[in-house]
Amino acid sequence: MRKVSIVGAGMTRFGEHWETSFRDLIVEAGVKALTDAQMPGQDVQAIFGGCMASSRFIAQEHIGSLIADQVGLKPIPSTRCEAACASGGVALHSGWLAIASGRYDVVVVGGVEKMTEIGTSRAALALGGAGDQEWELFNGASFPSIYALMACRHMHDYGTTEEQMASCAVKNHANAVNNEYAQYRKKITIEQVMNSGYVASPLKLFDCSPLTDGAAAVVLCASEKARKYSDAPVEIFSTSQASGTLSLASRSSFTSIDATRVAARDAFDHARLTPKDVDVAEVHDCFTIAEIMAIEDLGFFKKGEGGKVSEEGRTALNAEISVNTSGGLKACGHPVGATGVKQAVEITWQLRGEAGKRQVNGAEIGLTHNVGGSGGTAVVNLYKRGD
C-alpha cells in the first residue's frame, strides 16, 4: 500500500447560505482546495464526494455527476459516498484507498450539504433516516431523543452532569470565535447553556449541533509525488472504518459506540501509536454527550471520565489534548455530508501551523473521528506532517 498525503485543502464558510446554491458551495470548496495545491484540474484522476440527504434537502440526486460537472472535471469517475453524518469520512477513506492501492495518483475528496432550505420538521425527518426508520423514527425517536438516552445512561452509570456536558459546548464556542469559517463565532457560558431550554432532557438547545449549509474539499496525492504540489504535505498515515448497529436498542451499551472503538483500535494499531501520541483531534460532537463518549471511546480518557475532564478544561486549546479546535460540529456547524472532510481540513491547517489564534502549539499528530447516525458507521483517521 502506498503512502497518501493531503496537498490541498479548502472549505466554504459554514452557516445559512440563503443566496448560495448547492452547486456554488461545491465549486467554492473545490476551487479553494485545488488552488491551495497549486494543481491544474487535468491532474485530478477521480472524485469522491460525501453527501447524505440531498434528495430530502434540495430534491437532487446523482451528486457524483453533479460535482464533476460543476467543477469542470468530467469525464473522470466521480462517486457519491453516503453514510449518514459519516458520509464525508467515508469519502475520505475511499479516496485514500484509491491512491494507496495504486489505482490513482491524485484524487479530490469533497463533502457538501445544504440543509436550511426546508423547515426544521422536514429536516428532522431527513436526518432521522440516518437511524432505524422502522424501529426508531416511525415511533417518534428523533436523534436528540436517542442521544438523550445515551446521556441519561452515562449520567446514571458515571455521575456525568448536565454542567459537564455544557462545558463541551462552551469550549467549542470559544474555539470557533477564532475560526472565520465557523457558523457561530460567539462565546457562551455554562449558565447560557443551562438556561437554553430542553430539546430532549437532559440535552438542551445549546447541547445540540445546528442545521448548516457548507462544503469542504481536500486534494489527496501519492506521498512520493506530494512535493510536486505542496511544500507542506500532510500524510494520512492510518485510516479505519467500522460499522455498528443501526438502532440504539440493538446495542450492548448505551454509553459507548462500538464502531468508534473498533475503528480507533485498528487505526492506532496500524500506525503503531497510542492515543497519548495525538496532539489535536476533531471528534464528532453532534451533541455534547457525543464528544464526551468520543474522547472515551477513542482512548484519550478512561470510560466515565469524559465529563469530568471536559469540565476541568483538559480538552481545551493547548491543554492535555486539544479537541475540536475548529469549534466542532457544535459551533463550526454540521452540514452532515461535509463534516468529515471539514475535520480533515482543520487538521491539515493545524499540522501546517496555519490555524491562527486557535493553533495548537507544536502539533505533529492529528486525529479525525466521524460518526454516522447514532453509531452505525465510524471513521477514524490519523495524520502527521509530511516527510
Contact 295, 144 (CB under 8 A): no
- 242's grid cell: 467500522
DSSP SS3 for 117 = coil
- Enumerate the H helices of 209-298 as residue ranges: 258-271, 288-297
Q: Could you tell me where the beta strands, DSSP code E, fall in 198-283?
A: 198-200, 203-204, 213-222, 234-243, 280-282
Question: Any idea which residues carry the catalytic annotation?
Answer: 85, 334
Report d(CA 39, CA 343) in Å as an integer: 22
- Rounded Cα distance between 72 and 271, Å, is 36
User: Would you state the cell numbers that stand for residue 325, as one nine-digit string?
Assistant: 479546535
Whose cell is 455521575? That residue is 159
Q: How large is the angle between the packed helices 120-128 and 143-158, nearest 10 degrees?
A: 70
Residues paired with residue 10 on neighbouring β-strands, in sequence order: 217
- Residue 208 in grid coordinates: 445540540
Alpha-carbon span 233 to 243, nearest angstrom = 30
Calpha distance 363→23 (Å, rounded): 34
